[in-house]
Structure 1
Amino acid sequence: MVQTLESPATTALDDIPVRFRWRALLSLLRPRHWIKGAPVLVAPLVTAPVAAAGHAAPLGLTLAAFLAASSTVYVLNDLRDRDADRLHPVKRLRALPSGRVTVRAATLLLVVLAGITAALLTLLPLVVAGVVGAYVAVNVWYSLALKHQPLVDVSVVAAGFVLRALAGTVAAGLPVRPFLLICVYCACVALSLGKRRHELAMVGDAHRSALSAYSVPFLDHVVVVNLVVALAGYVAFLWGLASPYGAVATVVTFPFATFTIYRYLQMVMVDRSGGDPVVDLVRDGPMRAGAGLWAAALAAVLIASAL
C-alpha cells in the first residue's frame, strides 16, 4: 500500500532520524536544479560583461528571487503530482511519493517559500519584479492545467528560461536582444521535448497525460528543428554584438556549440538518455567537456575584449 499522510503507515516516519527528515524536506527545493537560474547572470554577462559587473546587486537579488520562485513551483508540483510520481521508476523515489516527507510538512514549506519570494520581489525594480511575477503566475498555471496540454507544456517550461534571461538583462540595464531570447527558447523547448521522449520510451504515457499526443519519431524531428533554430539564434545574437568581439566569439565558440548539440542528440536518440538534462550535463564526460570548453572559449573572448 502506498503511504500517504492520511494513512497510519506514515508513522514509519518516526523511525527516520531527524537529520534525514530535514534532508528529505530540503530536497523538495531541488537545489541541484538551481543551475537553471544561470540565464539570469549569463545573458547580461555575455551581452555586456562590464555593464553586468556594475549591476551585481540587482542581478544577485534577481537570481535569488528566481531561485525562491522556482523552488516554490517545485514544491507545488510535487504536492500535486505525488500520486502520479509513484508510477514513475525514478520520481517515485522523491521525498513526497516515497513518504519521507508528509503533505503537511511540504505545504508548510510551500507557504514559507511563497513568503520569501514575495519579500524578494519588493526589493527589485518594478519591471524586474513584474517579470519574476509573470514567471510565478505562468508556472502556477502550468502546474494547475497547462502541463496536460501537448506542446503547450514544453513551451511554458521554455518560456520560464526566457523570462530568466529577460529579467537578468533588464536588471543589468541592458537592451533586450531578441535573438538571444529566441536561442534560449528553442534550446529549452528541445531539452524539454528530449525529456518527454525519454519518458515516452521508458515508461509510456501513463505517467504524463500529454505524452499520449507524442511519438518518438515526432519528438526526434521537433528536437532537431528546435536545436537548429537555437544554434542560428545563437550565431545571430553573437554576430550582432559589438565588433570585433561578436565576430570573434562566434567563430571561436561555434565548434564547441555544435559539438555539445551533437552529443546531446546522440545521448537522446542513441543512448536513450535525456530524462534529466541537468544530470546529463553534470555526469556525461563528453557533454561536460564540450560545454566546459564552450564556456571557457566564450569567457576568454569576453576577458580579452574587456582588456
Structure 2
Amino acid sequence: MADTKPLVLDVDGTFLRTDLLFETFWAGLGQAPLATIRACFAHLTDPARLKAELVKLTTIRTDLMPVAPDVAALVEDARAQGREVVLASASNAALVERLAADHGLSDRVFASGEALNLKGPRKAAALVEAFGEGGFDYAGNDTVDRAVWQHADRAIVVGDPASARAMEAAGKDVIRIDGGWSPRGVAKALRPHQWVKNVLLFVPVLAAHDFQLSTLIAVLLGMIAFSFAASSIYVVNDLLDLEADRLHVKKKHRPFASGAVPIQVGMVTGLLVGGAALAIAALLSPAFLAVIVGYMVLSLAYSLKLKRLRWIDIAVLAGLYTIRVVAGAFASGVEVSGYLLAFIFPAFLTLGCVKRLTEVTLAEGDERLPGRGYGKPDRPDLLNVAILGIVGALLSFFLYSFTDQARMLYPTQWLVWAALVPITWWLVRMLRLGYYGKQDHDPIVFAMKDKRGLGLLMIAIAMLFQAAGLWEKWVTAALG
C-alpha cells in the first residue's frame, strides 16, 4: 500500500545546502551594510525578529539556492506517490513560502514569523497539530530536529549520524542521507592557487639585488601573511557574491555558492586565516602590519562596494597589487623606488582592464554583468584604458633607467632599454588575449600558467640581470 503521509522537510541544511538566515545576512551586508549591522545588534537575542528584519532589508533569489540532490530525489519519489511535500523551517515565512513556490511544493508551509521562532519543540507542536501524532515523515539535519523526529512516523536524517543512532535507539524507522562538508571544500574556498600573486612581494628584493638569506626569509613570511589575508578576503567576497556567482557559468560551482561548504564554516575559516595573517604581520614589523591592515580594509571595501563602481574597481585592483610591492619593501627592509611603483600601478591597471575585458567578452549577452558595472559595449573603453596603462608603465620604466639608482644597479644601460621589448610584448599579448576572451577570468593566475608569457618575462629578467652584471658575479662565485 502506497504511503500517503505528508513528507515534511526542514529547509536549512536539509532541503537546501545553505542557510536562509546567513544568506540574508550576507545579502544585507552587500545591499544595506549599515542597516544590516544595526539590525543584528538590535535583535541578536530575538532570532525571529532578526530574521524578519533581514528579509525586509534584502532582495534575494531563493530559486537560485542549491538544493540537496538526495533530498530532491526523495521529493520526486514522494510526488510520484501523490504525497504532499511540505516545508517546515525556523527561517522566515516570506522566504519559505517563496522557496516552496519556486519548487512547486505545497503552499502549506510552517515557518517563523516576527514573534515566533519555529524551531525544535515549537515546530513539533505545529506539525502534530496539523497532521497528528506520527502522521508525517520528517527530514532534518540537526540535533534540534530530534524534538520533531520523536513525533514523526519516519525520521529522515541528513548528515547527522549521532541523531540517526539516537532515533534508531528510540525505535524510530530511520532513513539516513549523506550530508556535511569536507576540508577539501574549505581549502578550495581559500583559493590557494591565488597565492601565486604574492610573489610580487619579492619585486623590491629583485630590483635591489638583495638576495641575503635573512631578507628572503622575511619576504617569505610576508608572502604567507599576505596569502592568509587574501584568503580571508576571498571568503568574504564569495559570501557577498553568492547570488552573482550562482548566475555565473563557472563561479556557480564555488564552495559557498554551490552549498558544498556551509556559510557558517566559511565565516569561522575566514576569521581564523585573517587572524593568522595579522599575527604573522605583527611579528615582522609594525610597518608591515599597518600595510597588511590597509590591504585588508581596502579589499573589504572593494568586496562591499568598490567592485561595483565602474573604473574605480579597476583602479582599486591595481592599487591592491601595488600594495603587495610596498609590503615586500617593508618586510625585507629594502627601499622601493617611486619609479618602480609608477611602473607597477599602470601595468596592473592594464591587467585590471584585461580581467574585465575577458569577463565581458565571454558573456553571452550585452547586458551588464551581475555585480559588475561592465558589459560588451564597454570593450572599446576598456581597451583604451588598458593601452594607456601600457604606455604609462613603459614610460616609467624608461625614465627610471636615467636615475642615479638605475645607473648604479644596472651599469649596462642599453640592456635595460632592450628589456623593454619582451616587457612590451608580454603586456600587449596579455591585452590581446583578454580582448578576444582567450584568458582565464584572472589574468595573474593565467600569466603564471602561460608558458609563452612566462618565457617573455624570464627573458626580460635575464636581460636585467645581465645589465646588472649578476650573471658574471654568480658564475665567478660558483667557480670559486
- Bin the TM-score by the shorter chain: 0.7 to 0.9
Note closer, same or farther for the CA distance 1:286–1:294 as it changes in structure 2 (3 Å cut).
same
Q: 1:46 aligns with which of 207, 215, 218?
A: 207
**Using the alignment, how far apart are the partners of 1:209 and 1:291 within structure 2?**
31
**Using the alignment, how far apart are the partners of 1:164 and 1:55 within structure 2?**
16
Relative contact order (C-alpha < 8 Å, sep 6+): which is higher?
1
Note closer, same or farther for the CA distance 1:89–1:239 as it changes in structure 2 (3 Å cut).
farther
**Using the alignment, how far apart are the partners of 1:209 and 1:113 within structure 2?**
27
Report the alpha carbon displacement of residue 201 of structure 1 after superposing the two structures with TM: 2.4
Tell me which residue corresponds to 1:286: 452
* 1:138-196 Cα distance to aligned partner (Å, 9 max, x none): 11111111111111111111111111111212332232311111111111111111111
Q: Is the contact made by 2:359 and 2:437 (CA closer than 8 Å) also made in structure 1?
A: no
Q: State yes or no: 1:119 paired with 2:284.
A: no
* 1:287-307 Cα distance to aligned partner (Å, 9 max, x none): 232223333434455523755
Moved more, 151-160 or 55-64: 55-64
Where do residues 97-246 of structure 1 align in structure 2 (5 Å cutoff)? 97-203=257-363, 204-211=367-374, 215-240=378-403, 241-243=406-408, 245=410
Moved more, 118-127 or 210-219: 210-219
Q: Is the contact made by 2:246 and 2:252 (CA closer than 8 Å) also made in structure 1?
A: yes
Tell me which residue corresponds to 2:18: 4
**Using the alignment, how far apart are the partners of 2:293 and 2:336 within structure 1?**
19
Letter aligned with residue 169 of structure 1: A
**Using the alignment, how far apart are the partners of 1:295 and 1:29 within structure 2?**
31
Q: State yes or no: 1:37 paired with 2:198.
A: yes
Q: Is the contact made by 1:187 and 1:230 (CA closer than 8 Å) also made in structure 2?
A: yes
Q: State yes or no: 1:94 paired with 2:254.
A: yes
Moved more, 236-245 or 213-222: 236-245
Q: Gaps spanning 5+ residues in structure 2: where?
A: 1-14, 21-64, 71-157, 160-176, 475-480
Q: Is the contact made by 2:16 and 2:68 (CA closer than 8 Å) also made in structure 1?
A: no
**Using the alignment, how far apart are the partners of 1:16 and 1:298 within structure 2?**
57
> Which structure has the highest strand share of the two?
2
**Using the alignment, how far apart are the partners of 1:8 and 1:228 within structure 2?**
46
Q: Is the contact made by 1:84 and 1:207 (CA closer than 8 Å) also made in structure 2?
A: yes
Letter aligned with residue 22 of structure 1: P
Note closer, same or farther for the CA distance 1:113–1:183 as it changes in structure 2 (3 Å cut).
same
Report the alpha carbon displacement of residue 43 of structure 1 after superposing the two structures with TM: 2.1
Letter aligned with residue 433 of structure 2: M
Q: Is the contact made by 1:267 and 1:274 (CA closer than 8 Å) also made in structure 2?
A: no
**Using the alignment, how far apart are the partners of 2:289 and 2:323 within structure 1?**
11
Q: 1:26 aligns with which of 187, 196, 219?
A: 187
Matched pairs, number: 305
Q: State yes or no: 1:250 paired with 2:419.
A: no
Q: Is the contact made by 2:241 and 2:371 (CA closer than 8 Å) also made in structure 1?
A: no
Note closer, same or farther for the CA distance 1:230–1:2 as it changes in structure 2 (3 Å cut).
farther
**Using the alignment, how far apart are the partners of 2:407 and 2:249 within structure 1?**
49
Report the alpha carbon displacement of residue 244 of structure 1 after superposing the two structures with TM: 6.3
Q: Under a length normalisation based on structure 2, what TM-score does the superposition of the two structures give?
A: 0.58
Q: Is the contact made by 1:245 and 1:305 (CA closer than 8 Å) also made in structure 2?
A: no
Note closer, same or farther for the CA distance 1:231–1:109 as it changes in structure 2 (3 Å cut).
same
Q: Is the contact made by 1:147 and 1:153 (CA closer than 8 Å) also made in structure 2?
A: yes
Report the alpha carbon displacement of residue 17 of structure 1 after superposing the two structures with TM: 9.4
Note closer, same or farther for the CA distance 1:81–1:112 as it changes in structure 2 (3 Å cut).
same
**Using the alignment, how far apart are the partners of 2:416 and 2:247 within structure 1?**
45
* 1:95-141 Cα distance to aligned partner (Å, 9 max, x none): 11122111111111111112212211220211121111111111111
> Which structure has the highest helix share of the two?
1
Report the alpha carbon displacement of residue 226 of structure 1 after superposing the two structures with TM: 0.4
Query: What's the C-alpha RMSD, in Å, of the aligned pairs?
Result: 2.8
Report the alpha carbon displacement of residue 10 of structure 1 after superposing the two structures with TM: 4.2
Query: Rg larger in 1 or in 2?
Result: 2
Note closer, same or farther for the CA distance 1:299–1:206 as it changes in structure 2 (3 Å cut).
same
Moved more, 265-274 or 141-150: 265-274
**Using the alignment, how far apart are the partners of 2:409 and 2:281 within structure 1?**
38
Letter aligned with residue 268 of structure 1: G
Q: Is the contact made by 1:280 and 1:287 (CA closer than 8 Å) also made in structure 2?
A: no
Q: Is the contact made by 2:322 and 2:345 (CA closer than 8 Å) also made in structure 1?
A: yes
Report the alpha carbon displacement of residue 272 of structure 1 after superposing the two structures with TM: 4.5
Q: Is the contact made by 2:433 and 2:439 (CA closer than 8 Å) also made in structure 1?
A: yes
Q: Is the contact made by 1:128 and 1:171 (CA closer than 8 Å) also made in structure 2?
A: yes
* 1:211-267 Cα distance to aligned partner (Å, 9 max, x none): 269711111111111011112222333553243626255134222112212211221
Letter aligned with residue 410 of structure 2: Y
Report the alpha carbon displacement of residue 37 of structure 1 after superposing the two structures with TM: 0.6
Q: Is the contact made by 2:202 and 2:328 (CA closer than 8 Å) also made in structure 1?
A: yes
Q: Gaps spanning 5+ residues in structure 1: where?
A: none
**Using the alignment, how far apart are the partners of 2:473 and 2:328 within structure 1?**
20
Note closer, same or farther for the CA distance 1:279–1:123 as it changes in structure 2 (3 Å cut).
closer
Question: Secondary structure of the equivalent of 2:284?
Answer: coil
